[in-house]
Structure 1
Amino acid sequence: MSTIRAADFIDSIATALQFISYYHPQDYIRALTAAYHAEAAPAARDAIAQILVNSRLCAEGQRPICQDTGAVVVFLSVGMNVRWDTALSVQELVDEGVRRAYRHPDNPLRASIVAPPLGARRNTGDNTPAVVHVALVPGETIVVRLAAKGGGSENKAKFATLNPSDSLVEWVLATVPTLGAGWCPPGMLGIGIGGSAEKAMLLAKEALLAPIDLHDLKARGATDFIEELRLELHDKINALGIGAQGLGGLTTVLDVKILTYPTHAASLPVALIPNCAATRHLEFTLDGSGAAQFVPPALEDWPRLVWDAAAGARRVNLDQLTRADLATWQPGERLLLTGNLLTGRDAAHSRLIELLNRGESLPDGVDLTNRFIYYVGPVDAVRNEIVGPAGPTTASRMDKFTAQLLRDTGLIGMIGKGERGQIALDAIKEYGAVSLIAVGGAAYLVAQAITAARIVAFADLGMEAMREFSVVDMPVMVAVNTQGASIHQLGPAQWRR
């Protein structure tokens, strides 16, 4: 009988979460590098290059791959002969590990968990509680599989109960385009089939913890029905032309993972959960001999890419822009932004709208006239950083606020990730504004362009507070021009053909 000490378990959880915050799994890097070399769409190829460059920077600097350092989910397989040397519950042990990881002084991770989920939604400050699943199994060890799942991809989870005679492939091919680009492709898709509603969702999440091996599967050929299904879905999803960041291209998914479970004769429960470009997961085993040890990957495992942000890009001075200047910008055009912009996410937008609806002035320092707003919640800075990793959040969450802000504040542009919905497209066209995108999954790379940062409003919101950033050559792309034309519609349509 092995004895698991509380300190070893907690240290292992904390170290693992730090490890995956800045080291991509090497199977992902290999698959993404292959996708980069195969990609024929210029915009998608540029986006993949930024993700790969960002990944290497994070490995070198040991800073988060993405500003959204995720909600922690843990799958524990606990041997029934294991003895716990602790008075704490399993949930409390996991949460203490999460707390230590996210408050690490050398690499603080962004706390994103709010409680309660309705009402006040106050940030818990340490990213707890984690979501913990426990299975009791034969043996004398504890197998820990954990992930830090970003909100952009988690929000795109789908579930359906199909008829047994329905086509799973048709449902997946109809569903994937509805996910948009907010889940930051290229990544993985986890699919759970069978069981009950909750079991199918759990299977889909668990499937994402497996390594990417689609290229190996293609090379050796399928040996069973599930492997045949994986190959079919991989090829047909990529044929949709969605591409990296939804810009149109050859690679939308790097792998499709499927887990199944017996189900009721009248049912076919199916769940689909995507994993983003900042895929973060790890597996380790505790046997009572001490805390888990993790071997850092070699920097030689990353490709040496020459990515020139200025090649073919238009340089823009944000402090001298007018609406007339925006009229020449076209969807898919690359820009380098220099000057000052404001930041704001969901909570800040809600407060701005409340002030406008009450006829009150916006806070001092929040003048949006002829300004851009960047949808971002950065990681806290350490050492000599101006700001921590500061990549974009999903733009479509701000769609419902867009028309009023464009009408009432003088705002002329927005920066986020992913597509805009129709209500935002209509508002952008009506008010002659633009919407830009930065690459999701390149947060540390984007942060290198930020030369100054200060909070200007709503400091109590933590990472969602409004800030003013000064930037130099911040790399972005025109997603929606002043006529409402969207790269997320034009790009995939072109590559689908």
Structure 2
Amino acid sequence: MTTIINEQDFIQSIADAVQFISYYHPADYIQHLARAYEREENPAAKDAIAQILTNSRMCAEGHRPICQDTGVVNVFLKVGMNVRFETTLSLQELCDEGVRQGYLNPDNPLRASILTDPLFSRKNTRDNTPCIVSVELVPGDTVDIQIAAKGGGSENKAKFAMLNPGDSLVDWVMRTVPEMGAGWCPPGMLGIGVGGTAEKAMLMAKESLMGDIDMYELLQRGPQNKIEELRIELYEKVNSLGIGAQGLGGLTTVLDVKINTFPTHAASKPVAMIPNCAATRHAHFVLDGSGPAHLSPPSLDLWPDVHWAPDYNKSRQVDLNSLSKEDVASWQPGETLLLSGKMFTGRDAAHKRIQELLSKGEPLPVDLTNRVIYYVGPVDPVRDEAVGPAGPTTATRMDGFTEMMLSQTGLISMIGKAERGPVAIEAIRKHGSAYLMAVGGSAYLVSKAIQASKVVAFEDLGMEAIYEFEVKDMPVTVAVDSTGTSVHTTGPATWRKRIAEIPLVAI
């Protein structure tokens, strides 16, 4: 019997799904993260997880994005061979139209991050299309759809290697995870694909991230096969690295490790690893010809009783409007600051434009003297919002611009997520600057500290334009102080030693 899939039902299902996953974490992620929060002993990591959990609940209640990076959409289709599509569009076009409608939804507009040309013009498509579609024809009369929104911070940390057949997967993972830094916003999960060919291994790694997080249940019942034994081994060894939430050091770096395998050539051992971040977003549904899919919201009872708020007793309040180099020099590594006043935003494209203007001797459109720049590309506001979700982007992408910004513009400090590399740290030390870290995965929570927002330069860059934000008590941590001390080095090193002395237990 042939099943007819209506064009509009398919498009509506995709549109509804990208909205749904933008503000609902999967229940399994919330449950495992709540256990990690209860178990965490590092105060900085525990505070970061509290922000992520609080942000998650706020997004579920307010139907606004978990992260400002609403991702590149990945669609995995298993199309039954007894299915007929009532449409003149291709599957790619159907998925793209669903993504377009979902991302341009006026009640919850999602950030457009996709660029038409990766090499030259890099012009934003403004609707987050095209998406990435993978199709498999299978027996049956339904269309099975898994959809995910994958943020750039975690996608950029994807790793691939062609190992020799006798090489150890565990050894490769343990060498590779520390190289990934914290730009993928841990705690999350690792998806691993082994076998097939290069592209098959990468696809398997990505697909493995669609599965439920079940490490807690696996540890309780014990492994039943060699893959499960390997998952547990990697889970325990990766957490023993002490990287922790946001790379600050702590007990939980990963909540789960997933592994997919496929037969491979006798001379080959392709391995791929892709992390999922604190903004884990995916959904699964089936179309059977009866209409568009319906996704059931998770119960708010799933969220733990965690409600992060600024701690005025333990945090230093900073007036950005009167900030001086002497103030910056007084900040201590790991110290929590609450920022109030005006700051500018700027990401890769804006930094490149500034570089081009300086090289030509032309004036900058904004005066950065004694100012702070926030690495962020915000979501557009709705209703009474000053700005939409506006969490930090990965700071290391701006490392190559740091010396220029600190030596030629008068910039005094920077805000982003994750660690800085040695080139940036040396520039920070040389110029007595500082790097402040906001929590990745808490974009809606952070946006509540932004009282006003306006574009002040490079408007054509869309979300990568330079904005001026006025903030009140925006929470950040001193990640690199004016002497060049980095908590992303000291924190994990301390917790790696501590973890070696305590038994790992199920989270």
If the TM-score is normalised by the length of the shorter chain, which range does it land in?
A: over 0.9
CA deviation string 1:411-433 (max 9, x = no partner): 01000001001000000000000
Indicate the residue corresponding to 1:397 in structure 2. 397
Aligned alpha-carbon RMSD (Å): 0.6
1-structure distance, mates of 2:23, 2:285: 17
The offset of 1:20, in angstroms, is 0.3
Per-residue CA deviations over 1:315-351 (Å, capped at 9, x if unaligned) read 1111111101111211111100000000000000000
Q: Counterpart of 1:480?
A: 480
Q: Describe the shift of the 1:372–1:197 C-alpha distance in structure 2 as closer, same or farther (beyond 3 A).
A: same
Whole-angstrom CA distance in 2 between matches of 1:259 and 1:350: 40
Instruction: Tell me the equivalent position of 2:329.
Output: 327
Work out the CA distance in 2 between the residues paired with 1:347 and 1:409. Answer: 17
Match of 1:358 among 341, 357, 360: 360
Equivalent residue letter for 2:50: A
Match status 1:317 vs 2:319: yes
* Amino acid aligned to 1:187: G
Look up the SS of the partner of 2:120 in the other structure: coil
Q: Percent identity?
A: 66
Which residue of structure 1 lines up, in the alignment, with residue 505 of structure 2?
A: none
**What is the TM-score when the length of structure 2 is the normalising length?**
0.97
Counterparts of 1:135 and 1:469, CA distance in 2: 46
Counterpart CA distance in 2 for 1:450 and 1:429 is 29
Q: Following the alignment from structure 2 to structure 1, what is the Cα–Cα distance between the partners of residues 144 and 326?
A: 60
1:228 aligns with 2:229: yes
Alignment of 1:365-380 (within 5 A): 366-380=366-380
Code of the aligned partner of 1:214: M
CA distance in 2, matches of 1:179, 1:306: 30
Partner of 1:308: 309
Q: CA deviation at 1:223?
A: 0.5
Q: Residues of 1 paired with 2:237 and 2:330: CA distance?
A: 36
Question: Which deviates more, 109-118 or 296-305?
Answer: 296-305
Deviation for aligned residue 1:185: 0.3
Query: What is the SS of the residue equivalent to 2:110?
Result: coil
> Which residue matches 1:194?
195
Structure 2 letter corresponding to 1:353: Q
In 2, distance between residues paired with 1:243 and 1:30? 18
Give the letter aligned to residue 348 of structure 1: A
Once the 2 structures are TM-superposed, how far is the Cα of residue 301 of structure 1 from its aligned partner? 1.2
| Distance in 1 between residues matched to 2:148 and 2:52, nearest whole Å | 19
How far the C-alpha of 1:306 sits from its partner, in A, is 3.8
**How far is the alpha carbon of 1:262 from its aligned partner?**
0.4
2:35 alignment partner in structure 1: 34
What SS class does the counterpart of residue 473 from structure 1 fall into?
strand
Superposed counterparts of 1:17-166, under 5 Å: 17-166=18-167
Which residue of structure 2 aligns with residue 237 of structure 1?
238
The equivalent of 1:420 in structure 2 is 420
Match of 1:453 in 2: 453
C-alpha distance in structure 2 between counterparts of 1:87 and 1:147, whole Å: 25
Q: 1:115 is paired with a residue of what secondary structure? A: coil
**SS of structure 2 residue aligned to 1:425:** helix
Give a deviation string over 1:51-83, Cα, whole Å, max 9, x none. Answer: 000000001100000000000011000000001
Letter in 2 for 1:437: M
User: Residue 387 of structure 1 aligns to a residue in which SS?
Assistant: coil
- Cα deviation digits, residues 111-134 of structure 1 (max 9, x gap): 000011110000001000000000
| CA distance in 1: counterparts of 2:328 and 2:424, whole angstroms | 17
Task: Flag as ranges the 4+ runs of structure 1 deviating above 4 A.
Answer: none
State the secondary structure of the residue aligned to 1:172.
helix
AA paired with 2:165? P
Give the match's secondary structure for 1:427.
helix
Aligned mates of 1:187, 1:119 — CA distance in 2: 33
Task: State the distance in 2 between where 1:355 and 1:144 align.
Answer: 47
- Find the residue that maps to 1:114 and give its secondary structure: coil
Q: TM-score, normalised by structure 1?
A: 0.99
Instruction: Give runs of aligned pairs for residues 6-25 of structure 1, distance below 5 A.
Output: 6-25=7-26
CA distance in 1, matches of 2:494, 2:288: 53
Aligned-partner SS, 1:122: coil
Alignment of 1:269-280 (within 5 A): 269-280=270-281
* SS at 2:267 equivalent: coil
> Which amino acid in structure 1 is aligned with residue 434 of structure 2?
V
Moved more, 11-20 or 324-333: 324-333
Correspondence list, 1:275-286, <5 A: 275-286=276-287
Q: Tell me what 1:289 maps to.
A: 290
> How many angstroms does 1:304 deviate by?
1.4
- Distance in 1, matches of 2:429 and 2:115, equals 35
Whole-angstrom CA distance in 2 between matches of 1:147 and 1:295: 16
Which secondary structure does the structure 2 equivalent of 1:292 belong to? coil
Counterpart CA distance in 2 for 1:483 and 1:345 is 25
- 2:330 maps to a residue whose letter is T
Report SS of the residue matched to 1:462: helix
Distance 1:371 1:140 in 2: 60
CA distance in structure 2 between the partners assigned to 1:77 and 1:448 by the alignment:
40
- The residue aligned with 2:3 is 2
Aligned residue pairs, count: 495
Deviations 1:437-493 (A, max 9, x none): 100000000000000101100000000000000000000000000000001000000
Deviation of 1:314 after TM superposition, in Å, equals 0.7
Please state how far the C-alpha of 1:230 moved relative to its aligned partner. 0.2
